[in-house]
Structure formats: C-alpha cells, structure tokens
Amino acid sequence: MSPASQPGRRPARCPARPGARAPQQLLTVLALACACALPARADTSDIERVRATTTRLINQLVEQGLLTRERAALLLKELEAPPRAGAGPAAPAPSASNAPPAAAPGAAAATAAATPVRVPFVPEFVRQQLKEEIRGELAVQAARDGWAGPNSVPGWVRGLRLEGDLRTRFQQDNFDAGNAPAVSITETNRTRALTLTNTTVDRQRLRVRARLGATVTVDDTWGGGIRLSTGSSTDPLSANQTLGNYGNRYTVTFDRAFIRWRQGQQANAVAGRFGNPWFGTDLVWANDLSFDGVALQWTPDLGRWGRGFVTAAAMPVQEVELAGDKWLYGVQAGLQWPSSARVSGRVALAYYHYSKIKGQANAPASSLLDYTAPAFAQKGNTYFNISSDPARPLLALAADYHLVGLTGSLEVRSFGDKRLVFTADVVKNIGYDEAEVSARLGTRVEAQTMGYLLRASLGDAEVDAAGRWQAFLSYKHLERDAVLDAFTDSDLRGGGTDVKGFTLGGSYGLGRNSSLTLRWLSGDALSGAPLSLDSVQVDLLVRF
C-alpha cells in the first residue's frame, strides 16, 4: 500500500506552482463550480454525469496534495447523500402513452405550482468557511477605515470630559436701619468720583449661574481644560447673573483655560487660568474665585503617616505695561493622615505674599502712579487717596499683605453613612506696618490683622441623590486688614473684611445631581462704621 493510500496519513504535497491558490480557496471555487454546474431543472443522467466529474476532480486534488483525504472523504459523502425533500431532480416528463387524463383548468395551475425547483447545494463546512472569511475581511476594513472597533474614536475624544452646573437663586437682603453710608472702592476708582454703595434699602433678586467646562486627557502626562461661565468681566468673585435687565442677554466669559502636566500620582503642574489650588475655606479665598499663573503640587506618600502635599504658585494679580506687575506668591504644606474606620483629617500651613500691591501717592500734577490703585475691591481694607487732584479721587491700599494661614479639618463617620465634619481656619497678616500706614493716612490706624472661621457640618459628603442631605453652621471673624478684601467671600454682609457673623443652612437632594439649598447669613461690622446685613438665599442646583 502506498503512503498516499494509507488511512490517517497526509499525502506528500507537490511543490506549489506560481500563482497556485490556497487549498481553502480551491475548496470554495470547487463548491461553487459544482453548484453552478447543476442546472435548475435536470434529469437523472445529467446529475450522475456532474457527480462523476466532481468525484474525479476531488480524487485528482488528493493526488496532487492540494486536498487532504479527510476533506475528500467528507466531500464525497456530501456528494453521495440523497437530495433533500423539495431539492431532488424533476420527474421525467410523461409520454403520450401513459399520460393521465386531462386535468381540469384549476388543477393544471396547482400542478405547475407543485413542480419541484432544484436549489444549488453548498456543503455546511464550505458555508462556514465563507462566513469566517467575510467576517475577517470586514474586521480588517473596519480597523483600516476607522468605522468600527477599538480605534474607531480618536484617543483625545475618549479623554474628553464635559461637566457643568446650572443654579437659580432667590436672594433677599435686609439692611439695618442704623447703617452708615459706605464708599464703593471699585466704582469710585472707575468714575473718579466718590460713589456710595447701598447700605439701607432692602433688596430682592433672582439670579442665575451657568457653567460649562471641558477637560481633556491627551496622554498619561498632558491634559488641559476650559470653562465658560456667566457673570461679569469686572467681578472675579461671582458668576451670578441678576435677572431683570429688559430681556437682555447674559455675559458669558472664559472662567478657566489651562494646561496640566502630571507625573504619576505624586506630582502635577498647571498653567493658565485654573481653579483654587489651595486647601482652605472662604476666609481667604472666595468659593468661585479662579487664579491666573502657574501652580505646582507634590503629594508624596508618607507611609503610616499618610500622604503629604506641597503646593507652590506664582500668580499675576495685575499686569502693568510700563511698571512692575503685581504678583501673588504662595506656598502651602500639609498632611492628610490615613483614615480609620471612623476618623480622617487634614491640616496645612500656608504663606501668601503679595508683591507691589500697596498704593503709592502721586506727585503734584502727576498721574504716573495711578496704576498702584486696585482694579477691583470690595470693602473693609484700609485705603488712602493717591490722586494728585482732590476732585478726582483714586483709592489704593495703605498696607502690605503677607499672610500666614493655618487650616485643619476633622471628619467623623457617624450615624451610619453620615459624616460630621469640623473645620477651622486662622489667618494673620504679618505684612502690616502700623507706623507706615498711620503716616500715609495722617492719623493713627490700629493694626487689625487677625481672622478665623469655625465650621461644622452633618450629613452626606455629597448631596447628589434624592433624599441625601447636609446641614451646616459656620462663624467668621475677619478683621479689617487680615486678608485682601478683593478675594475673600462675597456673601456674608455683602463681602469684604471687617466683618463678624454666622451662616446657617442646609441642602437636600431632589434627584440625581440636583438639590435645594437654604442659607441664612447674618453679618455685622467689627470696628468700622455700623453696617449690618441679613441675607436669605434659596438655591436650586442641577449638575451634570
């Protein structure tokens, strides 16, 4: 017996000729050729001739080594199988001698409809092979053209994240009848005429805030983001838009635009306009304040001591073309110790140094030093007039501001999943020189440079679902020159320094990322002219 005829052994293959097709493709062509060779209507002799020709062709493919004997046996078995019902050859046409009697006209139509039609037969394994080949070609084309598969969307699109919030607010401001008049620093410097702000007439407002931001992760190292916001281009602290402006459209500005660099989990840097990088409260920095400049952060893992964090930043406050710019330099170092089952905490020490923030008086008939006046201010700090023209006042800061701040928080998990959080924030302006300030104003000005805030909250960490809630209470004591009044909270007693008072309120979740907040704020002057204000705020917030 020759090796080719021994069962279970693969015959030797002849050398492949140039242009020869793969065995799988030959099988496909063979099956299609056989199917096409069978006529739609054929007698038995035609079918037998096609079957014999196909058998010889299969045997020749085996002899040439292009088809294994196992595959050949399977093909021959399929070829010898009897035709399925409805797929066999047509019955021979009846002769005149044995023709049945003529049928009725309706029966002739039924007989024609029942005449069998032969369907070309393709073996099951060939159909499966065709299916797999088509699927493979489609996958290759999809990956090449980018319309399906894991590479169908560019990487930067997968790294894009949109977020934002919408807030409507009702605000009621009730002034005390004994309040003294107060000067608006910003409006006075803008108009160069002494301008007073409202301190006696109660006010009701409907306000809205809308913010839409996008952050993108380019790769493991680089990313960035932008954010659009309602608000004013002259007020850096608030994104609120007061309703009731004869139907006029809202102002929309770029609130953030930054590039971020990361190195693993322990180092990152951001440049441009970005959110608050400091750990703290609204004692020093208002909640909606964004910063310009560059900030670097290092967060080393300290093992059993927890995780440390060090933040350093250089931030331009005001760029002046023909003179030295005003800058804020800051550094903060802190520790976040490991959380147990019930308690966690964080503490940080910071130093903030304002450069060239202090005003300088103009020489007679000169306006060269007008740039030393602030472009924005609230109220509370010590100011003096630097204008050389008494009829055109220009108010500027009388002191330097070099701040030392200590902030700590303690979180206790209690009452199931609820959290009790205590926060304390203390700040001291060590740059205030009482003698220098008194000389500028021509009278003794006592140093008032301390501030502190105490806050407690109870409830869910985030009010981001229906039924979740949080209650809070805080007390603030902020002396006249403890911080720069331009950047501190703008809500308690209308914003600024020289204030003491408390905030009481709570938030309740209405649904997924939607909540209702009620807040009552009551503030009074510490040492300046009498100024008391009670405010009620009702906020409806939706985040996405």
Place 92 in a pLDDT band, splitting at 50, 70 and 90: very low
> Mean per-residue pLDDT for 203-231?
95
Residue located via tokens 């009481």? 504
> Mean per-residue pLDDT for 467-479?
98
Place 353 in a pLDDT band, splitting at 50, 70 and 90: very high
pLDDT at site 34: 53
Amino acid identity of residue 529, one-letter, is A
Number of H helices and E strands in the chain, helices first, is 8, 21
Place 126 in a pLDDT band, splitting at 50, 70 and 90: confident
CA dihedral 225, 231, 232, 237 (to 10 degrees): -80
Q: CB under 8 Å to 536, separation ≥6 — which residues?
A: 170, 171, 172, 518, 519, 520, 521
Beta-carbon neighbour count of residue 413 at 10 Å? 17
> Mean per-residue pLDDT for 492-501?
97
Place 349 in a pLDDT band, splitting at 50, 70 and 90: very high
The secondary structure element, H or E, covering residue 403 is strand 402-414
Domain boundaries, the chain: 21-89+121-152, 165-543
**Nearest-5° Cα angle at 268, 262 to 273:** 105
Rounded-to-5 percentages of helix, strand, coil across the chain:
20, 35, 45
- Rounded Cα–Cα distance for residues 341 and 475 (Å): 29
pLDDT at site 13: 43
CATH code for the structural domain at 165-543: 2.40.160
Distances in whole angstroms, Cα of residue 21 to Cα of each of 61, 140, 300, 310: 12, 21, 63, 68
CA atoms within 13 A on the CB side of 165: 17
> Mean per-residue pLDDT for 141-161?
66
Supply the DSSP symbol for 494.
G
Nearest to 417 by CA among 342, 344, 359: 342
pLDDT at site 84: 54
Whether 341 has a pLDDT exceeding 80, the answer reads: no
Place 422 in a pLDDT band, splitting at 50, 70 and 90: very high
Beta bridge partners of 330: 313, 352
Supply the DSSP symbol for 99.
P
The secondary structure element, H or E, covering residue 128 is helix 124-145
More confident residue, 102 or 493: 493
**Nearest-5° Cα angle at 471, 469 to 474:** 150
**CA dihedral (10, 11, 17, 22) positive or negative:** negative
More confident residue, 400 or 54: 400
Amino acid identity of residue 129, one-letter, is Q
Helix ranges, 146-258 (H):
155-158, 185-191
- Pick the range with the lowest mean pLDDT from 112-126, 327-341, 455-469, 530-544: 112-126
Judge whether 61 and 67 are in contact, CB under 8 Å: yes
Amino acid identity of residue 502, one-letter, is F
- Rounded Cα–Cα distance for residues 258 and 449 (Å): 34
Whether 25 has a pLDDT exceeding 50, the answer reads: yes
The rounded percent of the chain whose pLDDT value lies above 90 is: 64
Phi first, then psi: give them for residue 314, nearest 5 degrees: -125, 120
Q: CB under 8 Å to 221, separation ≥6 — which residues?
A: 261, 262, 263
**Three-class DSSP labels, 168-191:** EEEEEEEECCCCCCEECHHHHHHH
What ranges make up the beta strands (E) of 74-193? 160-175, 182-183
**Hey, what are 125's tokens?**
């394994």
